[in-house]
């Protein structure tokens, strides 16, 4: 079911005013710094915090309508939620954790456990159903939390920094699995994150929130290529490139190849953060596995660094110090060489 939310929350010195629409089957990432209002939005959508004004409508159901005096409490909303910390009940088995919501809605224990086992199989941890959460790895616990969120067939799925507590290797795997499940979910999904890679990899659209307001919205590519505030530019100035994994090399759709540290196969994205790109006046000697000729398209000051947009076989964005920028004699049109360590390239499934 689609989501429409136009709400205002007075939070001390900060007033959060957000107007969002999320279509059926769409994933919307809400990206922003700490204190911007992201968690406030999630609490409103979840029914944990009544808005001071506005409406929240999911499909044909009105969950909040302040002028009309409507507020549907959290336990009556058809939603699923995955938190940064999985928040599984430590005294219950994994199966009973997943079945818990169905049991509270009156479904019999055998039917609830059967549905839970089905979802545990879907997320790839069917064999862990009898374990307690304390015996799960971080990735396994988040898979169980996702199963718990989806088993009740929610109309709205809320994801609160679902990958931030995972180590880098586990995050890559779980992100790819999460992307697949979100692609199959028929309802609306709202993902709150401060990580641009998660937003770019998982979302159909991105909304950037600063100081309680939406400052930019669009597709991940649009937001990445055309930042409208300094925060957005610093945050999402990464190069996001589609390609095909061939072991420890990714063949880019637009031409060129990128060496990566982890083996990849099939359709993937590679992401390169601007601080990972080094610029050279001539082809560098030494160990970098990724070296490309490029041309400086534009340069924009960003505090103590200069953001350089590069055109070439592999389009990139680089952040260099003002001193390095001057020493390299850079100006629009200047030819340079760009290098990136394979270990600094993130890879995730498309």
46 burial type by CB count under 10 A (0-12 exposed, 13-18 middle, 19+ buried): middle
Q: Average pLDDT, stretch 64-75?
A: 96
Distance CA 112, CA 69 (A): 34
Distance CA 276, CA 339 (A): 8
Tell me: pLDDT of 233 over 80.
no
Torsion-angle region of 94 (φ positive above 0: left; ψ -120 to 50: alpha; else: beta): alpha
Collapsing DSSP to helix, strand or coil, 100 comes out as helix
First to last CA, the chain: 24
Distance CA 335, CA 128 (A): 55
pLDDT of residue 349: 74
Q: Which residue has the higher pLDDT, 167 or 311?
A: 311
Integer-rounded Cα radius of gyration of the chain: 22
Q: Rounded to two decimals, what is the model's pTM? A: 0.73
Distance CA 113, CA 96 (A): 7
Q: Which residue has the higher pLDDT, 246 or 236?
A: 246
Is the distance from CB of 97 to CB of 148 less than 8 angstroms?
yes
Distance CA 41, CA 191 (A): 11
CATH code of the domain occupying 3-233: 3.40.50.300
pLDDT of residue 167: 77
Proportion of the chain above pLDDT 70, given as a percent: 98
- How crowded is residue 262: how many other Cβ atoms within 10 Å of its Cβ? 16
Nearest to 29 by CA among 179, 148, 268, 200: 200
**pLDDT confidence of 69, banded at 50, 70, 90?**
very high
**pLDDT confidence of 16, banded at 50, 70, 90?**
very high
pLDDT in tens, 91-124: 999 999 999 989 988 889 999 999 999 999 988 8
pLDDT of residue 138: 86
pLDDT of residue 236: 67
Q: Average pLDDT, stretch 20-26?
A: 96
**pLDDT confidence of 27, banded at 50, 70, 90?**
very high
**pLDDT confidence of 238, banded at 50, 70, 90?**
confident
Q: Where are the domains of the chain?
A: 3-233, 238-349
pLDDT of residue 85: 78
Which two tokens mark 25?
Answer: 């089957």
Q: Average pLDDT, stretch 229-238?
A: 72
pLDDT in tens, 198-207: 888 899 999 9
Distance CA 247, CA 262 (A): 8
CATH T-level assignment (fold) for domain 238-349: OB fold (Dihydrolipoamide Acetyltransferase, E2P) (2.40.50)
Tell me: pLDDT of 310 over 90.
yes
Nearest to 142 by CA among 206, 98, 107, 183: 98
pLDDT of residue 200: 84
């Amino acid at each position: 079911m689609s989501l429409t939310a136009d709400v205002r929350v007075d939070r001390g010195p900060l007033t959060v005013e957000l107007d969002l629409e999320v279509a059926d089957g769409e994933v919307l990432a809400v990206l922003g710094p700490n204190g911007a209002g992201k968690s406030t939005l999630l609490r409103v959508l979840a029914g944990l915090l009544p808005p001071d004004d506005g409406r929240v409508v999911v499909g044909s159901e009105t969950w909040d309508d302040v002028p009309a005096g409507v507020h549907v409490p959290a336990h009556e909303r058809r939603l699923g939620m995955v938190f940064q910390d999985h928040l599984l009940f430590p005294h219950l088995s994994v199966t009973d954790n997943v079945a818990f919501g169905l049991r509270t809605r009156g479904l019999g224990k055998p039917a609830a456990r059967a549905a839970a086992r089905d979802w545990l199989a879907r997320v790839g941890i069917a064999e862990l159903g009898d374990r307690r959460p304390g015996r799960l790895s971080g990735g396994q616990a988040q898979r169980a939390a996702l199963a718990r969120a989806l088993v009740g067939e929610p109309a709205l799925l809320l994801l609160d920094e679902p990958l931030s507590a995972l180590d880098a290797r586990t995050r890559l795997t779980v992100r790819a699995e999460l992307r697949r499940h979100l692609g199959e979910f028929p309802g609306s999904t709202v993902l709150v994150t401060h990580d641009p890679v998660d937003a770019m990899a998982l979302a159909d659209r991105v909304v950037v929130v600063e100081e309680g307001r939406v400052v930019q919205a669009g597709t991940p590519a649009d937001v990445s290529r055309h930042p409208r505030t300094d925060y957005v530019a610093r945050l999402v100035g990464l190069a996001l490139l589609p390609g095909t994994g061939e072991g420890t090399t990714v063949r880019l759709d637009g031409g060129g190849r990128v060496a990566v540290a982890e083996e990849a196969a099939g359709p993937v994205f590679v992401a390169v953060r601007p601080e990972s790109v080094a610029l050279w006046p001539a082809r560098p000697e030494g160990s970098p596995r990724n070296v490309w000729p490029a041309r400086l398209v534009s340069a924009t000051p960003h505090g103590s660094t200069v953001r350089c947009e590069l055109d070439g076989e592999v389009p990139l964005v680089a952040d260099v110090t003002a001193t390095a920028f001057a020493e390299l004699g850079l100006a629009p049109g200047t030819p340079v060489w760009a290098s990136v360590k394979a270990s600094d390239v993130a890879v995730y499934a498309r």
